[in-house]
């Protein structure tokens, strides 16, 4: 059955890699990102019924307007994927600038909250839908020089598991570790070492069916794409 899929961070990395997989399966993708150029490329490659918007997830009013338009046009999402995230500059925690820490938390944690707050009411009213918040291996373990990122992904794990306890039967909230993938974000941390890991396009071929197979039985489970 065709699904309506809302996907943040659709213009790059894992999000961008998922769009063609979902579209090829006959699903409708409602994506957002911040790059007008990359959004135009998405529109050209995946025209209506798909829809892509320039949205800054740190702006709650803009997110709410996007959610209202989306629900009015497509109904509540069957699958809501919070993928948008940023990485900090590699440095000991005490050398991280306050503005950089704030910006990371604004996207990785508060941005997820804004999207959830905007979309969940319609999903709850309908009584079904799956919410996937992308976590990380660094949301379940730690490493030096990525403390802000670790903090944000640990927050996603806790937020999602608590949310899972609040949802009505028939819905699910899942923190998902995508695994280690060669993306621009990973290259910030691993540099050329990132090339030893799978490309996002290869990952998406496995992750797309995995995500589409999630359901109420998975509510509250911390999962990893195998």
pLDDT digits (tens, 9 = 90+) for 105-123: 999 999 999 999 999 999 9
C-alpha to C-alpha distances, 57 to 2, 112, 132, nearest whole angstrom? 26, 7, 16
What's the pLDDT score for residue 100?
Answer: 98
Q: Is the pLDDT assigned to residue 212 strictly greater than 70?
A: yes
Q: What is the DSSP letter of 108?
A: I
Residue 1 binned pLDDT confidence (cut-offs 50, 70, 90): confident
Tell me which DSSP letter residue 161 carries.
Answer: H
For residues 23 and 170, give the distance between their C-alpha atoms in angstroms, rounded to a whole number. Answer: 25
Separation between Cα atoms, residue 201 and residue 23, nearest integer Å: 14
Q: Is the pLDDT of residue 186 over 60?
A: no
**CB neighbour list of residue 211: distance below 8 Å, 6 or more residues apart:** 18, 79, 81, 132, 176
Which position among 22, 52, 149, 154 bears the catalytic label? 149
For residue 204, give both structure tokens.
């998406």
**Beta bridge partner(s), residue 4:** 28
pLDDT of residue 66: 98
pLDDT for res 181: 82
Select from 89, 93, 107, 115 the least CA-distant residue to 185: 89
pLDDT at 3 over 60: yes
| Alpha-carbon gap, residue 38 to 27, rounded angstroms | 20
pTM of the predicted model, to two decimals? Answer: 0.94
* 154 in catalytic set: no
Q: Look at residues 71, 177, 69, 62 and name the one whose alpha carbon lies nearest to residue 120.
A: 71
In CATH, the architecture of 4-224 is: 3-Layer(aba) Sandwich (3.40)
Q: What is the pLDDT of residues 10-65, one digit of tens each?
A: 999 999 999 999 999 999 999 999 999 999 999 999 999 999 999 999 999 999 99
């Amino acid at each position: 059955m065709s699904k309506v899929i809302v996907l943040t961070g659709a213009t790059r990395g894992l999000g961008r890699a998922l769009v063609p997989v979902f579209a090829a399966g006959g699903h409708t993708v409602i994506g957002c990102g911040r790059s007008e150029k990359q959004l135009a490329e998405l529109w050209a490659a995946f025209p209506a019924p798909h829809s892509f918007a320039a949205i800054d997830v740190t702006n709650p009013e803009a997110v709410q307007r996007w959610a209202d338009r989306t629900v009015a046009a497509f109904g509540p999402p069957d699958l809501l994927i919070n993928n948008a995230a940023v990485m900090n500059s590699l440095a000991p925690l005490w050398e991280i600038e306050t503005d950089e820490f704030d910006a990371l938390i604004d996207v990785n944690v508060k941005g997820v909250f804004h999207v959830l707050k905007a979309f969940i009411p319609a999903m709850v009213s309908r009584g079904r839908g799956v919410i996937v918040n992308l976590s990380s291996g660094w949301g379940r373990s730690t490493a030096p020089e990525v403390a802000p990122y670790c903090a944000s992904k640990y927050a996603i794990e806790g937020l999602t598991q608590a949310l899972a306890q609040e949802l009505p039967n028939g819905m699910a909230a899942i923190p998902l570790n995508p695994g280690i993938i060669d993306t621009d974000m990973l290259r910030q941390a691993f540099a050329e070492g990132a090339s030893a890991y799978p490309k996002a396009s290869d990952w998406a071929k496995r992750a797309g069916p995995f995500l589409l197979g999630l359901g109420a039985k998975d509510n509250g489970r911390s999962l990893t794409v195998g």
